[in-house]
């Protein structure tokens, strides 16, 4: 009886460690639209919600736009203003996608894996397809995903402010999911 209980308990613990859906409410997303003319448009959001389904290979992110924190008050205002993210109208940015080479990522074995991600990014009320790669690190049931990509600001109706802001801002994502 004791042996059976122990086996069941171990099985449940293993199951929990390799739970299919892993989430975090503290993913970090960096936004960098700096140019040689302006070093100010750079911000970080450290309270992004992220989820990964290791069986289905789906990934999702949600960010409160006003949570992108700039050092400069004027830049904070411009970023959220009606000529840019218009965050009063569009308070949330989101991504929904899939790992397209799922068999290449072994979530059951510790290691580093290169994942191809495709999905839809919604910014400023506009949804566009995005393709990128990510490095997925599996360590004792926890999954860390890191990805860097650029977006075309004009695709999302975002102005380049006369060349002062990068036409293709860089986005960097780090998420530690459990």
Partner 1 sequence: MSDSNSVKKSHIRKILIIGITLLIVCAGAAWYIFTNSFSDTSREKADYTFNALDLIKEFQQDDKASNKKYAEQIITVNGSVTEIEQADTTVNIKMADTSTGSYIIFAFQQQDVVNAKKIKQGDSISIKGSCSGGVYSDILSTEFITFKRCSINQ
- Residue numbers at the binding site for partner 1 (CB under 8 A): 23-28, 40, 46-47, 49-51, 60, 62, 64, 66-67, 69, 71-74, 76, 87-88, 91-92, 94, 174, 176
Kindly tell me the sign of the dihedral angle through the C-alpha atoms of 158, 161, 167, 169.
negative
Residue 107 to residue 104: CA distance in whole angstroms: 10
Minimum distance from residue 26 beta carbon to partner 1 (Å)? 4
Give counts: helices (H), strands (E), the chain. Answer: 2, 8
CA dihedral 91, 60, 176, 7 (to 10 degrees): 140
Q: Which is nearer to partner 1, 5 or 36 (CB)?
A: 36
**For residue 140, what is the DSSP state?**
T
For 17, the 3-state DSSP assignment is: helix
- The CB-of-87 to partner 1 minimum distance in angstroms stands at 8
User: Of 52 and 153, which CB lies nearer to partner 1 in the complex structure?
Assistant: 52
Quote the least distance from Cβ 9 to partner 1, whole Å: 24
**Cα–Cα distance for residue pair 94/121, rounded to 1 Å:** 6
Whether residue 177 contacts residue 25, with contact meaning beta carbons closer than 8 Å, is answered with no
Shortest reach from residue 35's CB to partner 1, in Å = 14
Task: Kindly tell me which of 61 and 113 has the beta carbon lying closer to partner 1.
Answer: 61
What stretches of the chain adopt beta strand conformation (E)?
A: 21-32, 42-53, 58-64, 92-99, 111-123, 126-139, 142-150, 170-177
Two structure tokens written together for 71: 């050092």
Closer residue to partner 1 (CB): 44 or 155: 44
CB of 53 to partner 1, least distance (A): 11
The residue (of 66 and 170) whose beta carbon lies closer to partner 1 is 66
């Amino acid at each position: 009886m004791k042996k059976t209980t122990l086996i069941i308990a171990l099985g449940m613990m293993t199951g929990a460690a390799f739970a299919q859906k892993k989430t975090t409410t503290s993913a970090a997303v960096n936004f960098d639209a700096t140019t040689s003319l302006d070093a100010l448009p750079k911000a970080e959001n450290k309270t992004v919600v992220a989820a990964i389904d290791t069986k289905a290979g789906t990934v999702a992110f949600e960010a409160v736009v006003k949570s992108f924190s700039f050092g400069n008050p004027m830049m904070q205002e411009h970023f959220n203003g009606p000529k840019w993210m218009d965050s009063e109208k569009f308070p949330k940015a989101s991504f929904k996608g899939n790992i397209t080479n799922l068999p290449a990522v072994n979530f059951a074995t510790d290691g580093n894996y290169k994942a191809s991600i495709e999905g839809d990014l919604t910014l400023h009320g506009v949804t566009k397809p995005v393709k990128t790669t990510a490095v997925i690190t599996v360590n004792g049931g926890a999954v860390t995903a890191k990805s860097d990509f650029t977006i075309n600001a004009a695709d999302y109706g975002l102005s380049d402010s006369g060349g002062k802001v990068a036409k293709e801002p860089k986005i960097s994502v780090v998420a530690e999911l459990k």
